[in-house]
Amino acid sequence: MQALMLPDGLVPEDFASASPYREGTLALDRMPRLVPLLAASDGQAWVRLRGDEDEAGRRIVEGELRAEVPLRCHRCLGVYYHRVAGAFRVVVVASEADGDALPDELEPFVCAGSVQPLTVAEEEILLGLPVVARHDEGECAPPGHDAGVRREELSPFAALRGHVRPADSDD
């Protein structure tokens, strides 16, 4: 089956039974909630999705996503690329209350108007990011710092040590 290009928004007709998959790439720097987390402005996400309706008549967006997200490592402060990949299936709801009413096994996606593929992709990427961004163990080291300075070296009188003779107690 041939996939169509990603539209700007999914309209009600896109949720018809057996609608085609749509796929394409989205620039990571166009995702407003993701931009502050990016260490570099390059990068794209490949997205493949389609609208559908489940047996209860709920609008479903399902698909898959792959992205290499440039993040700042909190250990070495360098850039590393975190891989986010996987399939997703969300139920489109109009409000948080509608989402709370869904069964626990269904993941809500709150959207009042047309479903924007960029917004769906951004949400899935954000859910796939680590809490603390860092390279895998052993791939980097923390930068050098002065935290290991001995206490004696921090004393304002350390420079005078050795220049001042102790007073004689015999006087």
The half-sphere exposure of 103 on its side-chain side, counting CA atoms within 13 A, is 4
In terms of residue numbers, what domain contains 19? 4-146
Query: Is residue 161 domain-resident?
Result: no
Judge whether 50 lies within some domain: yes
Give me the mean pLDDT over the 145-166 stretch: 66
Looking at residue 21, what is its pLDDT?
Answer: 85
Q: Across the chain, what does the average pLDDT equal?
A: 84
Rounded Cα gap, residues 116 and 8, in angstroms: 6
Q: Is residue 169 part of a domain?
A: no
Give the tens place of pLDDT for each residue, 81-127. 999 999 999 999 989 999 999 999 999 999 878 888 999 999 999 99
Query: Does residue 78 belong to any structural domain of this protein?
Result: yes
Examine residue 152 and state whether it is found in any structural domain, yes or no: no
Q: Which residue has the higher pLDDT, 30 or 17?
A: 30
Total structural domains within the chain: 1
pTM: 0.76
